Amino acid sequence: MSRKPKVAIIGGGVGGLAAALALHRLGMEFEVYEQASHINEIGAGLNLSPNALKAFRMLGFENEAIEAGWQDEYQCTRSWRTAFPISRQPRKLTSDIYGAQYLTLHRADLQSLLLERLPETHVHTGKACVDAGTNGKTAYARFTDGSSVDADIVIGADGIHSAVRDALYGKQPPHFTGCICWRGLVPVEAVANIPYVKDLAAWWGPHGHVVHYRVRRGELVNFVAHYDSDAWTEESWTTECTKDELIGTFARWNDALLQLFDQSERYYKWALYDRDPLPQWSKRQVSLLGDSAHPMLPYLGQGAASAVEDACILARVLDDSEGNIEAKLQRYEALRKPRTTRMQLVSRERAKENHLTSPAARLMRDAKVAFRSRFGSDKSIFKAGWVYEYDPATTPIG
């Protein structure tokens, strides 16, 4: 095909909008179809490691993301009860080694940064996809309102409950991890006199852990609390709850955390589900991206970052003159699948380490982390140097 392909992107979340921007910057035709009546991302925070910032650099808004977000001076891990610092790493060290900052950012702010760089007429809301596939040399997507679109390529970026993935491979039920999560946002001035909680930290304890960090130029503290329990099994991120069950669950944890929890105006909870890596992402002219292709547990902090990486590599491959559409989508999958599969599996292993119940096992883990962060060649807390060094703009695609 001599002309550049027209791409229909199903889903207007971070991954879908990043794909649209990557294509737009390379002069390719695209349309985004989002099921919601308007794009308004939930109020949650994101940890964005250097590989994500390098993707933002390729997409042309790294500096704007830094201005909208926050970078703490240190990243800490603490003991659940005493607040003893297991490790304490300067964030600047990460930036110096891996060539980009480690940022915390409000998800809605990232979505706005992407949206404002796209022509409004190419983003369509109220379009819930129910089917996708190919018809001859054309890819198609169909929506609940009875409409449909044809394109050279359809990309399913419609999230963890992807209709495009279901259309390609059938419904694949997830596995409940036995973990429940709670989240909230607190104005930073409300915790001014509470120790520890204004800075980025992960608290590790028996059956659970808590992460908190600042977003929106440091104005808000985002917290996420994880705990092993089967008392709740709904996967939705938008289910509100009371603070009583959260504080009751963590009643024996450090008082600074309980004070932080107490300051949020709204609380949300969801059950955490895991999904096995897909054997393949692409069929003919249809492929997947982000959570549609490789939903992963949050313990490596790579859900959003990996989706934006996907977007950058997809655009580069489609812009390459070599190969037909099917071959290009296969090459995109071959370039991305090994890395994202490894991320999925490492995230799964991190979940086990974060929630150790044995005091002896926790002591051994903490000693290893403390030693590695001080003396190891890979000083990242999660041995994630292989994640952070990646740059989608310079990764070979041939």
What are φ and ψ of residue 282, in 5° steps?
-120, 140
Query: What are the residue boundaries of the structural domains of the chain, listed by start?
Result: 6-173+276-388
Q: What is the mean pLDDT of residues 370-385?
A: 75
Query: Which residues are known catalytic residues?
Result: 213
Model confidence at 322, in pLDDT bands (50, 70, 90)? confident
pLDDT of residue 43: 65
Model confidence at 10, in pLDDT bands (50, 70, 90)? very high
pLDDT of residue 124: 97
CA–CA gap between residue 344 and residue 135 (Å, rounded):
32
For residue 279, with 0-12 CB atoms within 10 Å meaning exposed, 13-18 middle and 19 or more buried, which class applies?
Answer: exposed
Model confidence at 42, in pLDDT bands (50, 70, 90)? low
pLDDT per residue over 142-153, tens digit each? 999 999 999 999
Q: Spell out the residues 6+ positions from residue 315 whose beta carbon is closer than 8 angstroms to its own.
A: 19, 22, 23, 25, 26, 28
Query: What's the chain's average pLDDT?
Result: 93
Q: Spell out the residues 6+ positions from residue 79 whose beta carbon is closer than 8 angstroms to its own.
A: 86, 203, 204, 205, 366
Measured CA angle at 386 (ends 384, 388), to 5 deg: 70
For residue 335, with 0-12 CB atoms within 10 Å meaning exposed, 13-18 middle and 19 or more buried, which class applies?
Answer: buried
Q: Spell out the residues 6+ positions from residue 261 whose beta carbon is closer than 8 angstroms to its own.
A: 184, 223, 225, 243, 246, 247, 250
Element (H, E) at 166: helix 163-169
For 66, the 3-state DSSP assignment is helix
Residue with tokens 């917290």: 223
User: For residues 65 and 353, which has the higher predicted lDDT (pLDDT)?
Assistant: 65
pLDDT per residue over 228-242, tens digit each? 998 878 887 778 999
384 secondary structure, DSSP code: -
pLDDT per residue over 159-184, tens digit each? 999 999 999 999 988 899 999 999 99
pLDDT per residue over 122-139, tens digit each? 999 999 999 999 998 899
Q: What is the mean pLDDT of residues 318-333?
A: 93
Element (H, E) at 95: helix 91-98
Q: What is the distance between the terminal CA atoms of the chain, rounded to a whole angstrom?
A: 18
**Contact yes or no for 243/262 (Cβ under 8 A):** yes
**Contact yes or no for 247/230 (Cβ under 8 A):** no
Residue 383 Rama label (left phi>0; alpha psi -120 to 50; beta): left
CA–CA gap between residue 353 and residue 361 (Å, rounded):
9
Nearest to 158 by CA among 265, 10, 329: 10
Nearest to 11 by CA among 168, 163, 237, 166: 163
For residue 360, with 0-12 CB atoms within 10 Å meaning exposed, 13-18 middle and 19 or more buried, which class applies?
Answer: exposed
**Is the pLDDT reported for residue 1 higher than 50?**
no
Model confidence at 377, in pLDDT bands (50, 70, 90)? low
Q: What is the mean pLDDT of residues 3-16?
A: 94
User: For residues 89 and 291, which has the higher predicted lDDT (pLDDT)?
Assistant: 291
**Is the pLDDT reported for residue 48 higher than 90?**
yes
CATH code for the part of the protein at 6-173+276-388:
3.50.50.60
pLDDT of residue 379: 59
pTM: 0.95
